Chain A
């Protein structure tokens, strides 16, 4: 969780300095959903992600250095500079890709899970998406088909309260997106997405159900995007008071507090973790800066027709 947090903070900083071009959507504040869900998976499982996907990728074991290099548009990035922040994948890690289209991955995840089911594997697919994507047609079409075919997929909605600038209360007439599961005859659970253990618990149940051949589950993780939507978002659509209230519910601080209270996290270990994370993120930035740019002569590599 801390790697994701520090990584995203560095991304924001590098953007403001103009060292990263294009766009990126940091997942600061949503780390517990990424880690809680991905920690419940095993080999042979797959994950699809969203435009806000660095955290999911890191939680799946993605190399922060190669992710950062992709943000820098470098040859050593996961997509050799062709994808940028929203388009990278490592199938060997089970990470089938972020997605630049809101809701674009929901049907893909369902199809990947259908294929796993056809092949008779025990694998499943986790599909991350946001509250915004829950209003796309592909959400409804995919949940319906996943339900009728009992496809082993977990639909994990990270409800961070904002679809770019639109408050979830203005974009839908219900309070719990999880209730939409009723329409498709599948279980739907809303959970505190900032509580790592709660996320783990709900995910494990849904995984068991999927592996037992009972089909999909819709999990709504209620969380908060603490940063702006992307670079240069002045966040005029919400109050600083609201942000401060959610800052007090920060998932990393909450976990650290619990672990300290339980005597699991000593201050030495805490310091050690923080130092480690600093090293990982600094190394990622260094790797990205030092990596070569893609050769323009390779522009057409991978264009099949």
Chain B
């Protein structure tokens, strides 16, 4: 299979869905001639024109709300948030409007909007351009939250998200855009929302991650194998709905769990997963759950400090050795 980058995979998904369905359009800041801050929409303005590739002023609350309104009329907007750090500006249309429409207005209301947000650290961008806020959205009933780690999943999940009739928060970690991987060329392949992927099979310990965390977990598993520790790596792919079945099956097998999470520790996705494991499969745990997360700190700009803040493969390996030692 051919190998392409994560951003190329996203562009393919957008292009294919814009061709397939005339109701789909993309909007966001600098997504036209500039091609998006991370190049995802490069060339799309020329292909589809300004009616379907809409460059917006710097007005996150406004254009996210506009996308929600358009979705009520049957359009299927895909909004790009240049940095997820800017999404707090648009919390009202997401949390108070989009997330609640189906519940309060019943089946007459469909809100097929996808909000793509470039998240995460590792690029030395500092405290207001490096954050991940997935837990905020998981905490809001009515929102689907997706965070693919590989180019193939980025493409397949974005296509599924665009076809979903309800709002989807689509998290793209910036450090993944240039990573490459095999991606099917066909436009028919989609990846279902709500299904985790067993990235590595193993029996000794379960390592749960998503986005960059899943890539780091895979790298950690390779190192652990050299020590004779066979780790199972779960790449969640979708955070809400959470694939508890796959998580529970793995924990029943291994009895030991590490959750890696790039967001600050308190009330993070890792908190929720840990709690759910306690609720569902406590009896199978042979050791306390370990979380490998960013501490409760803003992400600093200095490379030395940022590296100290973000969890990585070495931290996962260390935690795994403690749990299995």
User: Which residues of A come within 8 Å of B, CB atoms?
Assistant: 46, 48, 79-80, 82-83, 87-92, 96-97, 99-101, 104, 106-116, 118-119, 137-138, 141-142, 144-145, 148-149, 302-305
Contact = CB atoms under 8 A, between A and B. Distances in A.
Contacts, number: 137
B96 interface: yes
A304 B113 CA distance: 14
A105 B267 CA distance: 31
Contacts of A110: 62, 65-66, 69
Contacts of A116: 73
A112 B72 contact: yes
A121 B317 CA distance: 59
A240 B200 CA distance: 75
A46 B68 CA distance: 15
A116 B54 CA distance: 15
Interface string B66-90: 1111111111010000000000000
B59 A141 contact: yes
B70 A111 contact: yes
Contacts of A108: 65-66, 68-69, 72, 93, 97
A303 B142 contact: yes
Contacts of B51: 118
* Residue of A87, A96, A107, A149 most packed against chain B (CB within 10 A): A107
Secondary structure call for the B interface: helix
Nearest to A127: B69
Given A110-B65, A305-B240, A79 B105 contact: yes
Nearest to B140: A305
B61 A111 contact: no
Contacts of B59: 141, 144-145
B102 A304 contact: yes
Given A112-B70, A145-B59, A138 B142 contact: no
Contacts of A118: 25, 51, 70, 75
A104 B95 CA distance: 11
Given A138-B61, A145-B59, A114 B66 contact: yes
Interface of B: 25, 51, 54, 56-57, 59, 61-75, 77, 92-93, 96-97, 100-106, 108-109, 141-144, 166, 240-241
Nearest to A78: B105
A108 B68 CA distance: 6
Contacts of A119: 73-75
B108 A144 contact: no
Given A110-B66, A142-B65, A148-B57, A104 B92 contact: yes
Contacts of B25: 118
Contacts of B144: 304-305
A145 B57 contact: yes
A148 B109 CA distance: 28
A97 B105 contact: yes
Given A101-B96, A138-B61, 8 more contacts: A87-B104, A91-B108, A104-B96, A107-B93, A108-B93, A108-B97, A118-B51, A145-B66
A137 B108 contact: no
A13 B60 CA distance: 42
Contacts of A149: 54
Nearest to A102: B92
11 contacts: A46-B73, A107-B61, A107-B93, A108-B68, A114-B70, A118-B25, A141-B62, A144-B59, A145-B63, A149-B54, A302-B103
Contacts of B108: 89-92
B73 A112 contact: yes
A138 B60 CA distance: 9
B294 to A, nearest CB: 25
A292 B97 CA distance: 28
A104 B97 contact: yes
Contacts of A304: 102, 142, 144, 166
B103 to A, nearest CB: 4
Contacts of B105: 79, 83, 88-89, 91, 97
Contacts of B63: 107, 141, 145
A46 B97 CA distance: 17
A118 B26 CA distance: 13
Contact of B104 (A79, A96, A106, A109): A79
Nearest to B56: A145
Contacts of A106: 65
Nearest to B62: A141
Nearest to A114: B70
B66 A111 contact: yes
A115 B27 CA distance: 13
Given A107-B68, A115-B73, A115-B75, A145 B92 contact: no
Contacts of A104: 65, 92-93, 96-97
A83 B104 contact: yes
A111 B27 CA distance: 12
Contact of A80 (B93, B106, B142): B106
* Residue of B56, B61, B101 most packed against chain A (CB within 10 A): B61
Nearest to B50: A149
B110 to A, nearest CB: 10
A82 B101 CA distance: 11
A35 B54 CA distance: 35
Given A303-B103, A303-B142, A304-B166, A111 B67 contact: yes
Contacts of A115: 69-75
B166 to A, nearest CB: 5
* Residue of B69, B101, B141 most packed against chain A (CB within 10 A): B69
A111 B68 contact: yes
A141 B63 CA distance: 8
